[in-house]
Amino acid sequence: MEIARPASAGTMESSDAYVEIEPREDGLEIQLESVVLDQFGDAIEQAVREVLEAMGVERALVRVADRGALDCVIRARVEAAVLRGRGDG
Amino acid sequence: MNKVVGSIREAISLSGLRDGMTVSFHHHLRNGDYVLNLVMEEIAAMGLRGLTVNASALFDVHAPLLRHIEGGVVTGVAASYISGGLGRAFSRGILQGEVEFRTHGGRPKAIAQGVTPVDVAFIAAPAADAMGNCTGKFGPSACGSLGYAFADARYAKKVVVITDHLAPYPLQGWSISEDQVDYVVAVDAIGDPKGIVSGTTKMTRDPVGLLMASYAARVIEASGLLQEGFSFQTGAGGASLAAAQFLQEIMVRKKIRGSFASGGITGCLVEMLRAGCFESLLDVQCFDLKAVESLREDPRHQEISAMQYAAPGSRGAVVDSLDVVILGATEIDTDFNVNVHTDSSGVIMGGSGGHSDTAAGAKIAMVIAPMFRARMPMITDCVTCVSTPGRHIDVLVTQGGIAVNPQNGELKDRLRAAGLPVMEIRQLKEKAEGITGKPKAVSRGDRVVAKVIGREGELLSSIRSVPQNP
């Protein structure tokens, strides 16, 4: 799936995450900021990558500002951002 | 005779304050307090150095204190509670030495016994007369009880009352009397009323908070203690207030007349007094305007000192007559040890206050807290900091279940019989981690930045430095 335009999903509320996605020429870049970076940083990045892979996104810049969201919330926010930014939608 | 002097600087100068001495403050003006900053600014301007600040609590409004620490004016800090904004700086190690945390009962005891002697106490007084009789009940900055300041006034070598409402002598309804006061200073304002007390305390609408609160009330109902003469304490947090309101419904419905509610008093407890749930309120600190007004108007609502409230080994402390106390936690471990000093990352953001005093005294000490906050599970294998030892905690209430300390088997049976969702604390921990995932352990610095001293004077915990996070 191609990302055609910048899009976002989520909020900056506690226990949520704000996810932004942008088109990128080549490959995936994930920028992560989190209040639980030390404790869950790796798990969050893995969740983001899994959603992108499952949706077939190969080129995108994804910025995640995490406020302590549960794994299911992170995944839902990433999925929503991808759907909003896709080119074939 | 008249003790009024022209300025804070003159009072400091007359008090004989010198390098290396200890000054004390109380926190009833909370995040609206001007007095600590006014006094420390003068002390710094006078060129004094190496002082210890012993405050019953420090709030974000006291951020200028950090500058005095960096400048060497202040080299020692003792408190019962430090809010998050300042706590972060202490966790980074701004102080060369270690912050000394004591409980609300342990602090006055240490002052009285000369373990932490106070040279000059500064009393922020919403109303005072020219001889130093003072109270928090009246005046534009009325804050209600001055409970934490009593020991400072009684045991400090010199006592300075600072007020923005100088009333004719003799002040009526004083809390601290003139025989303990050396100097009186009038200033324009001792605090910002907006930061001193909140106007209203609202019922939480958070469904997790409401569920925990209803469990908490049902635990009390099932405990066997909810009968004639029942005594109770709770905090001012959303779920604690909701628990008190649910408890009120039960008490009114069952026509149970309790004895007293104690501690920090909110409008919610005032309502319970008026509804006939209690005979008396014992007030060490007012949290809102309704509590201030009630303390002023209603003789059943009585001001108590921190000594009478919670001092261990004294001839009588209210906490020893408590049936049930509801407490919070940032973390609790599988041995029921509770942390209220730091967040899960080890950063200072609170303190014991009366937590361990009431837990030790009450027949049932109940902790209510959500299973996790912002993905951090609340139940751990080992708390970052022991604020209250697990042997004093009887039951943990979360939205996902209730865990009873194994040493209190009778309570466990009673809760089971009442149909409450009782489980082992380890089960509850696994349930939470099933939702959040298991957090990776974070590394801590090697330096000890704070010591947590238990109510009997024993070292409970050492808080280590936390590197500056991005």
DSSP letter for each residue of A14-72? TT-EEEEEE--SSSEEEEEEETTHHHHHHHHHHHHHHHHHHTT--SEEEEEEESS--HH
Amino acid symbol at B61:
V
The ipTM of this complex is 0.93
CA distance A35 to chain B (A): 8
Q: Kindly list the residues from chain B whose CB atom is less than 8 angstroms away from the CB atom of residue A67.
A: 374
State the burial class of residue A33 (Cβ atoms within 10 Å of its Cβ: 0-12, 13-18, 19+). Answer: middle
Q: Percent of chain B scored above 70 by pLDDT?
A: 98
- The whole-number pLDDT of residue A89 equals 53
pLDDT grade, residue B431 (50/70/90)? very high
CA A45 – CA A64 distance, rounded (Å): 9
- Least CB–CB distance from B374: residue in A15, A37, A38: A15
Q: Could you tell me if B207 lies within 8 Å of chain A, comparing CB atoms?
A: no
- Could you give the domains of chain A? 7-85 (3.30.230.10)
Q: Could you tell me if B436 lies within 8 Å of chain A, comparing CB atoms?
A: yes
- Both tokens of residue B83? 């809010």
CA B253 – CA B96 distance, rounded (Å): 56
Q: Kindly list the residues from chain B whose CB atom is less than 8 angstroms away from the CB atom of residue A38.
A: 345, 440, 442, 469
Torsion from C-alpha of A72, A74, A80, A81, nearest 10 degrees: -170
Q: Determine the average pLDDT of the residues in B317-326.
A: 98
Q: What is the pLDDT of residues B151-172, one digit of tens each?
A: 999 999 999 999 999 999 999 9
Q: What is the pLDDT of residues B213-255, one digit of tens each?
A: 999 999 999 999 999 999 999 988 889 999 999 999 999 999 9
A70 to B436: CB separation less than 8 angstroms, yes or no:
yes
A38 to B435: CB separation less than 8 angstroms, yes or no:
no
Helix-then-strand count for chain B, H and E: 15, 25
Q: Return the sign of the alpha-carbon dihedral for residues B326, B327, B329, B334.
A: negative
Q: Is the pLDDT of residue B203 over 80?
A: no
For an interface test with A, the pick among B345, B349, B375 (most A C-beta atoms closer than 10 Å) comes out as B375
Q: Is the pLDDT of residue B265 over 90?
A: yes
Contact B107, B310 (CB under 8 A): no
pLDDT grade, residue B285 (50/70/90)? very high
**Residue B25: how many other CB atoms lie within 10 Å:** 28
Using alpha carbons, select from B148, B140, B211 the residue that is nearest to residue B175.
Answer: B148
Per-residue CA distances from B331 to B99, B236, B432 (Å): 21, 18, 13
B442 to A14: CB separation less than 8 angstroms, yes or no:
no
Q: Could you tell me if A50 lies within 8 Å of chain B, comparing CB atoms?
A: no
- Could you give the domains of chain B? 4-56+104-196 (3.40.1080.10), 207-442 (3.40.1080.10)
Q: Could you tell me if B437 lies within 8 Å of chain A, comparing CB atoms?
A: yes
The chain-wide mean pLDDT, for chain B, equals 95
B344 to A39: CB separation less than 8 angstroms, yes or no:
yes
Name the pTM for this structure.
Answer: 0.94
In chain A, the residue whose alpha carbon lies closest to the alpha carbon of B435 is A70
CA distance A13 to chain B (A): 10
Q: Determine the average pLDDT of the residues in B288-312.
A: 96
Q: Percent of chain B scored above 90 by pLDDT?
A: 92
- The whole-number pLDDT of residue B45 equals 98
- The whole-number pLDDT of residue B313 equals 84
Contact B359, B365 (CB under 8 A): yes
pLDDT grade, residue B443 (50/70/90)? confident
Write the Ramachandran bin of B255: left for phi over 0, alpha for psi from -120 to 50, otherwise beta.
Answer: left
A69 to B375: CB separation less than 8 angstroms, yes or no:
yes
Q: What is the pLDDT of residues B172-189, one digit of tens each?
A: 999 999 999 999 999 999
Q: Could you tell me if A31 lies within 8 Å of chain B, comparing CB atoms?
A: no
Percent helix, strand, coil in chain B (nearest 5)? 35, 25, 45
pLDDT grade, residue B325 (50/70/90)? very high
CA B119 – CA B122 distance, rounded (Å): 10
- The whole-number pLDDT of residue B470 equals 38
CA distance B437 to chain A (A): 8
In chain A, the residue whose alpha carbon lies closest to the alpha carbon of B436 is A70
Q: Kindly list the residues from chain A whose CB atom is less than 8 angstroms away from the CB atom of residue B375.
A: 15, 36, 39-40, 68-70
Mapped onto helix, strand or coil, the DSSP state of residue B177 is coil
pLDDT grade, residue B359 (50/70/90)? very high
Contact B447, B465 (CB under 8 A): yes
Q: Kindly list the residues from chain A whose CB atom is less than 8 angstroms away from the CB atom of residue B373.
A: 14-15, 68
Using alpha carbons, select from B65, B64, B76, B71 the residue that is nearest to residue B21.
Answer: B76
CA distance A14 to chain B (A): 6
Using alpha carbons, select from B238, B248, B142, B127 the residue that is nearest to residue B197.
Answer: B142
CA distance A43 to chain B (A): 9
Q: Determine the average pLDDT of the residues in A6-35.
A: 97
The two most distant CA atoms of chain A are separated, in Å, by 37
CA distance B376 to chain A (A): 8
Q: Kindly list the residues from chain A whose CB atom is less than 8 angstroms away from the CB atom of residue B440.
A: 38-40, 42
- The whole-number pLDDT of residue B199 equals 62
Per-residue CA distances from B99 to B66, B307, B348, B423, B469 (Å): 13, 22, 11, 38, 21
- Least CB–CB distance from A40: residue in B373, B439, B469: B439
CA B6 – CA B434 distance, rounded (Å): 64
Q: Kindly list the residues from chain B whose CB atom is less than 8 angstroms away from the CB atom of residue A43.
A: 437
Which residues, in sequence order, are CB contacts of B323 under 8 Å at separation 6+?
Answer: B225, B230, B231, B232, B362, B363, B364
Contact B451, B110 (CB under 8 A): no
- Least CB–CB distance from A39: residue in B373, B376, B435: B376
Which residues, in sequence order, are CB contacts of B109 under 8 Å at separation 6+?
Answer: B115, B307, B311, B312, B313, B314, B455, B457
Q: Is the pLDDT of residue B469 over 70?
A: no
Contact A83, A57 (CB under 8 A): no
**Residue B145: how many other CB atoms lie within 10 Å:** 30
Task: Give B87-107 as a DSSP string.
Answer: HHHHHHT-SSS-EEE--TTHH
CA A47 – CA A74 distance, rounded (Å): 7
Q: Kindly list the residues from chain A whose CB atom is less than 8 angstroms away from the CB atom of residue B346.
A: none
The chain-wide mean pLDDT, for chain A, equals 96
Contact B76, B24 (CB under 8 A): no
In chain B, the residue whose alpha carbon lies closest to the alpha carbon of A17 is B374
Q: Is the pLDDT of residue B59 over 90?
A: yes
- The whole-number pLDDT of residue B204 equals 83
Q: Could you tell me if A54 lies within 8 Å of chain B, comparing CB atoms?
A: no
Q: Is the pLDDT of residue B101 over 80?
A: yes
Q: Could you tell me if A53 lies within 8 Å of chain B, comparing CB atoms?
A: no
